[in-house]
Amino acid sequence: MGPINELWEILTLVTVVVVGALGVLVALVRGRGGRGASPTLPRTGRREGDVLVDDRDRAADAGTEVPNRGGGVLVEEPEAPVAPGLERPESARGRLQRLRARLARSNSAIGNALLALLSRGGLSDEDWEAVEDTLLASDLGVEATQELVDSLRTQVRVDGTTDPAQVRQWLHEDLLRLVDPSMDRRIAASREDGHPAVILVVGVNGTGKTTTVGKLGRVLVAEDKDVIFGAADTFRAAAADQLTTWGERVGVPTVRSHQEGADPASVAFEAVKAGVEMEADVVLIDTAGRLHTKRGLMDELGKIKRVVEKQAPVGEVLLVLDATTGQNGMRQAEEFAKEVDITGIVLTKMDGTAKGGIVVNVQRKLGVPVKLIGLGEGPDDLAPFDPEAFVSAIVG
């Protein structure tokens, strides 16, 4: 019986070791957030004015649901499992060239009408009035229209020709001069002095601000920038949801409030603060659409800018304008410029209008460049504005 007892003792010892090892393995799995675990992240809350700010550990939060704490400002980060399937946006370089045909389809009516008039020969005063009417209908503006007509009349009179090729060249040169290729159209989107670049996006309802922020985020991600969205349009829950969705597609976190009507300045402040803490390159802040005639809402823009600049300077204030709105859009632009220092214009809905002259008009009125144009509904249909490509799309 001696050997049997020894064998039994050995089997018992092996069983104890195996069970113990299994216990350790289970504990390790649970400690690392296994499926059977219900981890609770340490959370801290602090008050910033009327908004509760929820802090979170960026790394530990991946894949973990964070409870909504009422009106708290939360960083909505894309969940880790989604990361492998993130979209890689098309590079901004060459976008306008790719979209040039679409732009030409809508705006070539201007060039075609002008060339048809100017190539007749023996132009009468009535013909020149028709040229003026065509230019004014394109929203070029009275002053720019007069300059262009005077220049063309002089060249036709001096040269004595209305050869279509020559007229096309004159028209191209004069329009390009009016569009002004010398204006700096770069977007300030680089970290400086230890803080992220801050871009504030403003405009009236319906111009496509939130969509523009989402598309601009894609442009910047394509340029290998670390971006954060700030959903400071707190009057429409759908706006924050929409922006969060844009961010999730390309891995951009969104700072938002889940309380409708929360203080937009506080949300913007927290977005920039998150950008500083996460060492992001750019913080893009979406603001609520507001009528340019509503004084209180316009004053709020100034407040947002002042509050944000306690964290980092606002390097860009981009005004989003609907290219189809004509002179009404110009009045909007002038009122917004009075409240905040506009640094650039984004023209949306350029794909469905023959009113490309608004580029010249708005630049003259505000003294700031058109930096981006929207040429469609696709996620990558926002392009840096290229004066040469734009004029070529109109005139050929």
Question: Which residues line the annotated binding site?
Answer: 203-210, 286-290, 348-351
Which residues sit in the known binding site for GTP? 203-210, 286-290, 348-351
Q: Are 167 and 115 in contact (CB under 8 A)?
A: yes
Q: Rounded to 5 degrees, what are φ and ψ at 33?
A: 80, 35
Instruction: Give the Cα separation of 190 and 359 in Å (integer).
Output: 26
Q: Are 51 and 72 in contact (CB under 8 A)?
A: yes
Q: Are 301 and 339 in contact (CB under 8 A)?
A: yes
Three-state secondary-structure class, residue 282: strand
Three-state secondary-structure class, residue 386: coil
Instruction: Give the Cα separation of 295 and 335 in Å (integer).
Output: 10
Q: Are 299 and 202 in contact (CB under 8 A)?
A: no
Q: Are 274 and 254 in contact (CB under 8 A)?
A: no
DSSP β-ladder status, 227-232 and 282-287: parallel
Contacts (Cβ under 8 Å, ≥6 apart) of 358? 138, 139, 140, 321, 323, 326, 329, 330, 347
Contacts (Cβ under 8 Å, ≥6 apart) of 5? none
